[in-house]
Amino acid sequence: MILITGATGQFGKLTIDFLLQKGVQPSEILALVRTEAAGNSFQERGIGIRVADYNDKDSLLRAFQGVTKLLFVSSSDLANRLQQHKNVVEAAAEIGVGHVVYTSFQRKNNSETSPLWQVAESHLATENWIKASGLNYTILKNNLYLDFVPGFIGEKVLETGVIYVPAGTGKLSAVLRSDMA
């Protein structure tokens, strides 16, 4: 059984769509949702749901029962992400999930001097917890999603002439979220 966390988010939905297109039967896919109502659209497609929250380890323990493959989509809640991720890894290890695929991110600097430390810290900790857990795993080092680039460019780029990323003559290696899913 394949469980997709973050199933109602963009990456999770795209991954489920990709699995279905590749011929995985809906009955072999589970969507992790925070409320039953959020799972209605999945159930209508024959996809099972598991209700859990990264903040509630007990709910994760119940949700991971019988899961052989887990796509662990990183939390977007930066303030609580460290504990949330720890809950997911601990629950997966306790249940004995067969294989965990974690969505981390590409980076050059793993130290506190990184301008992206607020994001990198939780990814590094999660990667280390996964490696130490005894679980079989794959850690995806996703590039910046191309979908985010308009946000860096900004609405007033023509008036200001300012693009916030990349700096100077820097190059940007971005990829569509759908390609990563």
Which domains does the chain possess?
A: 2-142 (3.40.50.720)
Q: Minimal CA–CA distance to 72: which of 150, 7, 134, 145?
A: 7
**For all residues of the chain together, what is the average pLDDT?**
88
11-38: pLDDT as tens digits: 999 999 999 999 999 999 999 999 999 9
Query: How confident is the model over 133-162, as pLDDT tens digits?
Result: 999 999 998 777 777 677 777 778 788 877
* Residue 181 burial (CB count, 10 A): 20
What are the backbone angles phi and psi of residue 47, rounded to the nearest 5°? -95, 135
What local confidence, expressed as pLDDT, does residue 44 receive?
Answer: 96
Q: pLDDT of 102-132, one tens digit each?
A: 998 776 666 676 556 577 788 899 999 999 9
